[in-house]
Structure formats: structure tokens, C-alpha cells
Amino acid sequence: MKLDTALRFARDTARGESPLSYFEFWPDWLFYTPVVAHWIGLGLWYGDMSLPTAANPRIPTGGLCGESKLDILDQVSPEARDLIAPSTGIVTHAWSGDADVAAAEAAMAKAGLAWPVVVKPDIGCNGTGVRLLQNAGDLRRYVNAFPRNTRLVLQKFVPAPLEAGLFYVRLPGEAQGRVTSITLKHAPSVIGDGRSTLHQLILADARAGKVAHLYLERLRHRLHEVPPQGETVRLVFVGNHCKGSIFEDGRHLATPSLTEAVERLARAIPDFHFGRIDVRFDSVPSLVLGDFTVIEINGTGSEATHIWDRRTTLREAWRAQFFHYGAAFRIGAANRARGARPSGLRAMWRHWRLQKRLMAAYPLND
């Protein structure tokens, strides 16, 4: 967590403010029931439940589920390639993890990637299976735990300390889109006192102790360690809320310079109208000037993640969900009128089942 945010967080919790919003970790069925009802209502109004899959016609299911992360990045034209973290991918062999290591190292060399690298599943969501690899030994352990005949992505590690999600919406025919959501993502951490184990530090933390299950399983081999006095231990690497990262509403940072940089990227992706762009950057001043590196581009299945800021009300969160998925239907309808074809419910179901099956087989994230 960035220092000023960490200090504000500690100050607010000391004043008695909750480190979590009361709905932040509700069961999915409880939070998303009104969102699903809204989707169904829009589907009936527009005559097609799968209409948002036409929002980004060049991406399978519009990026709702089961899409290839690498294929989306590869669609970015040369005009905006400078914004993208270099990536490559391999398909795991049916028989040998050693063959996968050799193939991955060859692909890395061809793409100009050097250690460390970020590895992630090509199909997935919520940060599942994302890890930071330091060397070939880490790679071997990862591919041995990865499902066979399945593509994984190797991406240049961007050492910039901060991460954000930028949501972009543009109706077909509009001269320029809008950045409708900005989420600043902070990695939770605990600080050693030289006496307590990592397990004890997590349970004693104002926020981490309330959602300890998000960290304990992944850190189970380190829980007995006693971090030295003053040592900061990061609890999660991936910038994903459901994996334990802390999200902060940054919509006030949507400057003209930032919007222009996002627009340049979005226009470099054929027929891209709706989605969240995940980026890393050095500082907030650099972000508002449009200086960032893209690590992932997500389509119709994206969420405006500023809603998971602990100060967001439930009404505000649902309003943001209704607005964004309503926009996905409006964009899909406009693209359908131009000749784009929604995927249909059967294809949506097939892609969702594939994604769900693969995610159950991926290794734990960092």
C-alpha cells in the first residue's frame, strides 16, 4: 500500500471506521442478484440476453468470459504498442513439464523477456493462477502444476510500484469515449515486530484479520516465520479484490491527459468499445499525465472495480453496475444494427464452462 494511503487507512481505523464496507465480501449470490435481474430485464427489452457480447465484436463473447488475454493484447496496433507490457505464450505439452520449460524459455528469448516475468493463464479472471517467477526453477514448478494442453502467458514484469484499473466506454460513432471508473489497487501488508509469526500478524491486522482466509492458504508455508522488526511483508501480489488487494476509488483522477492516453489505446484495438484496462505506473502524477504500462485488457466481463472502495455505499455500487452493464447493452444494440452478431446464450454458456473448468485447475496465485 502506498505510504500516504496506508497512513490514512491506519488513522481511519483508529478512529473506529471499518476497514471494510459492510457488503464488500458478501456472497456473490447476494450482491449480484439485483445485477443479474437488471441484466435479464435489459435482455428482454432488447430481445437478446447475449447482446453485450456484441459490444466488442472482434473479441469472442465480447470478452464476457472464456476469451484469450494474449489474443486481445495482440490486436493492439503498432500505434499503441508502446503502452503494452511485452508478452508471449506457450501451450503446455500433454506429456512433459520439461518440454514446457524449454518452450517457454525459447518464447521468452524470442520476445526479449528476461527474469523476472509474470506468468498467468491465458483464459481466466480474478487473478487466478497469476505469479511472479524469478528464475527457471520457479517456471518449472509452475508449469508442472499447470493443466496440460492449455495456453499460459509470460509477460514482462513491470516494476512500477502502483496499479490501477481504468474503465473505458464509447458508444459506436462517438468521437471519443469516457473513462468511467478508475480504481487504485494497493497491496495489503503487515510489518514484523521481531516476536510475532506471520500468522499472528495477519490475524492482528485491522483489515487482513477480517479476511484472513484470503491469505492463509496461499501463505501456509510461511505462516510460522517471524518477520524481523520493521520488515514489511506483502500479503498478495495480484491486484485483485477477491484475492485480498485493497481498492480505492480514483475517479477524480480522470484528467484529459489520462483520457487521451486511454483513448489512443482503445482506438488501436479494432472495434473496442467497452472494458477495463489494467495498468501499472510509477506515481499518481504520472498516471494523470497518461504515463502507464498496460498489463491486461478486459472486455464485457469487466467490472468497474471502484465499487470495492470501503467508503462506497451499496446504492452507489449497484448504480455503477447498472450503468456499466446498461452501457454494454446499448453498445451491443448499436453494433448489432451495424451488422455485428451477438454470441448467443449457448456460446456464452460454453465459454463460461470452459473458463470455470480451467480456473479450477490453475495453481494458486501469488
- Identify residue 85 by its one-letter amino acid code: A
Q: How far is CA 253 from each of CA 42, 179, 304, rounded to the nearest angstrom?
A: 31, 10, 15
Q: Residue 90 pairs with which residues in a beta bridge?
A: 152
The reported pLDDT for the residue numbered 17 is 76
* 216 pLDDT above the threshold of 80: yes
Give 79's Cβ-side CA count (13 Å radius).
Answer: 11
CB-based contact 344:50 (threshold 8 Å): yes
The pLDDT confidence band at residue 348, using thresholds 50, 70 and 90, is very high
The pLDDT confidence band at residue 3, using thresholds 50, 70 and 90, is very low
Task: Determine the topology of domain 86-157 in CATH.
Answer: Dna Ligase; domain 1 (3.30.1490)
Weakest-pLDDT range from 3-12, 275-284, 327-336: 3-12
The reported pLDDT for the residue numbered 274 is 98
Burial pattern 47-60, b for ≥16 Cβ within 10 A else e, equals ebbbbbbbbbbebb
Return the residue matching grid coordinates 489474443: 71
Q: Which of 257, 245, 252, 247 is nearest to 286 (CA)?
A: 257
d(CA 186, CA 163): 7
What pTM value is reported for the model? 0.93
Per-residue model confidence as pLDDT tens digits over 46-95? 999 999 999 999 999 999 999 999 999 999 999 999 999 999 999 999 87
- Per DSSP, the residues of 64-120 read SSS--HHHHHHTS-GGGGGGBPPEEEEEPPSS-HHHHHHHHHHHHHHHT--SSEEEE
Per-residue model confidence as pLDDT tens digits over 291-333? 999 999 999 999 999 999 999 999 999 999 999 999 999 999 9
Q: How far is CA 42 from each of CA 52, 169, 288, 322, 354, rounded to the nearest angstrom?
A: 10, 18, 35, 10, 26
The pLDDT confidence band at residue 2, using thresholds 50, 70 and 90, is very low
* 356 pLDDT above the threshold of 60: yes
* 37 pLDDT above the threshold of 80: yes
CB-based contact 56:69 (threshold 8 Å): no
Task: Cite the residue boundaries of each domain of the chain with CATH code 3.30.1490.20.
Answer: 86-157
